Amino acid sequence: MRALFKSLQWLEPVVELVRLGFFLTFVALLLTHLLAVVRAKSDSVRRRWANLIIAFVLVVTSIVGVTQIDTWPFSNWALVHMLRSPVMHAWQIEGIDASGHTYVIDPSILEPVSPEDFAPSAGRLRALSPSGRTSFMRFLYKRAEEGRRSVVEGKRFPANRWLLGRFSAPYHFGRRQLWRGPRDVPNNRFASIRMVFTVWNIDDRMRRGDAAIEREVIAEYRADE
């Protein structure tokens, strides 16, 4: 259905007007119901407007589902309902201290760049020249050390959230913060860091847990380099 609409270019302005109409109608219904509550209208009046809102949401959501055309705030959620590969890929940065203990580096060291936006750069790491790879890893080491020192010294981490802290605007994909306090990082600097690519089969991981994850160290950087 969506492909049909896309093939009919002359319909595009009509579709945009319909989207706008749905949004304005939704807002009008919400405001009308809010006014009925504020003005202490009877239960029957408030119930009628509430039922209209519910009916409108169901109708528009059904239309979006059939046409597969987003009409904000009503979405077809294509990001999560489309078919995806059973094989997943990810990356992580690991830091090793002088005693050989390994820590997973909190990706928040990259802020304001999100992990999702950083992924394409990490994916091109293999294609870099040896000197380019060293420069790339040196940059990551510097950011990891800055983050580690901030955590050890009790400063706000990540630095990008210095003003609002936990109330800062979240990224699209939320992640658990790995470094929450000094106990999560070594007291002394990292001896080295490495970039690790991981791959796993979803079904296999559900059965075997983390044992199903295959790891590949792509690059490593030592503090004395």
**Consecutive H or E run containing 198:** strand 192-201
The pLDDT tens digits along the chain (225 residues) read: 555 555 556 677 888 888 899 999 999 999 999 999 999 889 999 999 999 999 999 999 888 888 877 787 887 766 655 667 789 999 999 999 999 999 999 999 998 888 888 998 888 998 999 999 999 999 999 999 999 999 999 888 887 777 777 777 777 777 788 998 999 999 999 999 999 999 999 999 999 999 999 999 999 999 986
Q: How far apart are CA 22 and CA 69, in angstroms?
A: 13
Per-residue pLDDT, 35: 93
Structure tokens at 24: 């304005």
From the CA atom positions of the chain, what is the Rg in Å? 25
Structure tokens at 96: 């090793």
CA distances from residue 59 to 5, 55, 66 in whole angstroms, order as listed: 19, 6, 11
Query: What's the order of all strands across the beta sheet hosting 214-222?
Result: 102-104, 87-96, 192-201, 214-222
* Nearest residue to 116 via CA among 174, 191, 43, 181: 174
DSSP string, 89-138: EEEEEEEE-TT--EEEPPGGGGTTS-HHHHHHHHHTGGGS-HHHHHHHHH
Domain ranges of the chain: 2-80, 87-222
Give yes or no for a cis peptide into 120 (omega within 30° of 0): no
In the block, tokens 């093939």 appear at 7
Per-residue pLDDT, 175: 75
pTM over 0.75, yes/no: no
